[in-house]
Structure 1
């Protein structure tokens, strides 16, 4: 299967002329032989720019490559603007697999009796189909016949045999990535092998719907009392590795601007709430939906003047630890205030760039990139692009790309793009700055100290009754430790004294022995013997000591 798939991929690449990406002077011999051997496979799209041909080839190769292209489109720090724009056009609508086969997978996962007992009106025609899975509608039935409750649900099903296909394609991707890294002039900068490794982790996580179930439950819990975001309820008792059941939602696709306007939705409030959703997830919860592209976001316009965001497909989430959150927030605030020296220093302090980095040189590089941006009106500045520029600049100073920051960058670009699409006048800087400044104040100063004491008070209260015993044990341990140290010191002193005596006897014995040798002549034998005997005695005492 792998060799057949490899031929399909090579054929597609050649039909779209992607071999032009390999520089003529550095093209490996094996590639030249392959090109010559497959002479009948010619570029059929010569009139199209190379970036468009790359996107068309990705689409032709099917779901796995489409998903890869979608992920790659978010790495604008690695791609040319033209290629990134082309890849951004990749759609989630993928050819569906047979609905009856999907039903068979569901029954196999939960059992026929359980399925028939709780699910009716299963629609074999998919509601939507994506690269990894597709969803079908059904009605969930709960309770006895007398008190029966019904709820519309959607059932998500992983594509059959998709894992085997993904693994085969990933091996081929890795082979191509290695070739690009070695022979393409921009290979080192693009780091294709690392990109494929990142994609492997992402797509492997998405294959496990139990992981997505847990993510959805957590996100729902985080916003249960909040009007800005709604995450559909998950029926976890019917969720498995390849099947997931959740509440069906009705909303307007966030990309359907015409319908949102027809409904009279307050677009400014909706855009600002999108920003609030992002920063709340990142800085309050440290747990954010990292795949909020238009296909996964809807709007509840029941009250057009009080719209709510709806997020689905929680397979990819990002997290930040406390240190990353603090440094990131301080970086943002420093950018708002154009304090580039602090931005540079924060990158060094956080360990994002090496400790020996010159802060002054780094500051100058950041200023060079960002000052022209700030000459524009704030409403025209892309916050996400500033973040991309920052990471690009930092990479010149050997910054190691943090996976959680790549996800955050991708999510911010999505959110900002959606926000500006909804409300072009959106000033993301103005919307985000008060939120970030307030968060930084909460993390430092008297308020932060009070919150820390309040958070730790239950623990301290629990340990307070044990305090006298802990103090007694500490003092007792200290006393015992002091006695042990005194005993050890006495032993060391005694040992040192013995060593000193042994050394004295040895020196004296050696002196007598040497004197005996010097005096050992025919007329002085008696005197030499008289010196030799005390010397032997001193050696014996030294050994005994």
Structure 2
């Protein structure tokens, strides 16, 4: 769903005043006055009474984080998205925004009951034997309640907050307006393209609001790991789920951030750290479908049993992502090339994959990558952060007009979370050493003899189906080529813009010709001394020229 607002509504105007009050309270009006738009009246900043007193000693990044928390849940979620854009934000600000958490007061249990009854129909008692009005957790989009089904299944019920759609529309409209102003007036705004960030945020938050979409994501991930000894995904109860209500199996486990409890339960923390890394890389490269919000609050570890090893349990599937096979391949090759310090290959892969423009000079790009990576890779492998490496690579590639894909940014953010999780469990875990066998195996599967066999086996039925018609199509193309009747159709936004520009110039030319013809016709009517052939009292040549001009004008308007 896309929000495009041209005017500020009265409600948004009031909201803008409240935002201004929050910014002033945190001393952020100095940022507003530093922009190109308000720089001519910057002297007013020193005339405002609240600037005469001692300001907060917190850093600018801390003040911005606190302001977002005061502005409410939509701005908190926007800040969380911005924390993934380390390629755009200063490092201190991206790090501070990553600390943003949803601290939203719960809404009353009777409202949750009403939403469930409206979504599922009938009374709540028709669907659940027990329902706890006190929520287990409350976030910006929804809150979670514990319940028991009539058949004894223990479940959690996730319910969308009442009126959240209206709040999202109002605040998104303001964020769009602020982003458009920033893009136009802020230093570097045109390069950073904040409207693209808002567009990505808008898509993400509307997707989170649809709990059926989250249910589908959870079901897909569960199928991918149904036989796994490392990862468990709770079951979705589709018969009780709706756009505004999600019912899932209730899990029991130890929060992964509680390292003392894991040790007390006799867990092998080194194994846990390596297993978590392997599970994530399996999502990315085997399934091309990964949980993109793997912070410690969304990960638990099952209690150990005599016949089963502990497993990671994931919850909250509102933010998922995937990579195309094309991106998978180049990402794996990039990682392996980094490990081998083959920077020329890294540069070539970026050009081949289309991540940077085709006119990019490989030698210049290689030198830039080398200058960024050598200081990092000169350290012991266990001290190298793959997330930091990707981030620095993205920052460097931006200088070469690389358009960072949203799925790559989500991957980078999740890698940082996975690395932090692994090292919180076992400080000496080597992510590179753990991931390399998986990458080598994936590359052999896709690019080796086995990969060629699988690809051929998968595509052979399609080739056989199309083979009988192939000779006729080839002969048809050759005949049209021989007769100079072969046409190629090219489609792109830039070509469409060029066509429109040519059409405008063509129309102007036609208007000029038409006007000239009309003038000439008038000259014939009023300026001829001889007696030409007449029709209805007007020279015939004037009729011809006039009708010709009208015809040209009609054709131009039809264009």
Partner of 1:374: 377
Q: Does 1:346 align with 2:364?
A: no
Matched residue of 2:359: which SS? Answer: coil
Compute the displacement of 1:450 (Å): 1.9
- The CA deviation string for residues 409-438 of structure 1, in whole angstroms up to 9 with x for no partner, is 111111111111111111001011111011
Partner of 1:69: 79
Compute the displacement of 1:19 (Å): 1.5
- The CA deviation string for residues 342-392 of structure 1, in whole angstroms up to 9 with x for no partner, is 000000000100101000010000000000111111101101100111111
Q: Does 1:398 align with 2:398?
A: no
Matched residue of 1:138: which SS? Answer: strand
Partner of 1:360: 363
Partner of 2:143: 134
Does the 8 Å contact 2:377/2:384 carry over to 1?
yes
Query: Gaps spanning 5+ residues in structure 1: where?
Result: 142-148, 490-545
Distance 2:286 2:13 in 1: 49
Taking the TM superposition and a 5 Å limit, the aligned residue runs for 1:76-155 are: 76-113=86-123, 115-141=124-150, 149-155=151-157
Distance 1:90 1:474, change over 3 A: closer
- The CA deviation string for residues 297-345 of structure 1, in whole angstroms up to 9 with x for no partner, is 1111324993311111111111111111111111111011110000000
Distance 2:345 2:473 in 1: 45
Distance 2:135 2:120 in 1: 19
Compute the displacement of 1:31 (Å): 8.3
Distance 1:124 1:449, change over 3 A: same
Larger deviation: 91-100 or 28-37? 28-37
Distance 1:223 1:31, change over 3 A: farther
Compute the displacement of 1:137 (Å): 0.5
Matched residue of 2:131: which SS? Answer: coil
Q: CA RMSD in A?
A: 3.0
Aligned length: 472
Match of 1:269 among 254, 271, 275: 271
Matched residue of 2:57: which SS? Answer: coil
Distance 2:28 2:373 in 1: 35
Distance 2:402 2:208 in 1: 28
Compute the displacement of 1:179 (Å): 2.9
Q: Does 1:224 align with 2:226?
A: yes
- The CA deviation string for residues 129-149 of structure 1, in whole angstroms up to 9 with x for no partner, is 1111100000012xxxxxxx3
Match of 1:48 among 58, 63, 72: 58
Compute the displacement of 1:239 (Å): 1.3
Distance 1:346 1:124, change over 3 A: same
Match of 2:428 among 404, 425, 429: 425
Matched residue of 2:182: which SS? Answer: helix
Normalising by structure 2, we get a TM-score of 0.78
Does the 8 Å contact 1:23/1:184 carry over to 2?
no
- For the pair shown, the structure with the greater C-alpha radius of gyration is 1
Distance 2:475 2:374 in 1: 65
Does the 8 Å contact 1:257/1:422 carry over to 2?
yes
Match of 1:201 among 200, 203, 206: 203
Does the 8 Å contact 1:28/1:183 carry over to 2?
no
Compute the displacement of 1:258 (Å): 2.1
Partner of 2:415: 412
Distance 2:171 2:41 in 1: 19
Does the 8 Å contact 1:15/1:41 carry over to 2?
no
Distance 1:303 1:45, change over 3 A: farther
Matched residue of 2:451: which SS? Answer: helix
Larger deviation: 237-246 or 361-370? 237-246
Partner of 2:491: none
Distance 1:120 1:37 in 2: 64
Does the 8 Å contact 1:17/1:53 carry over to 2?
yes
Distance 2:389 2:200 in 1: 23
Matched residue of 1:440: which SS? Answer: helix
Partner of 2:329: 326
Distance 1:479 1:354, change over 3 A: closer
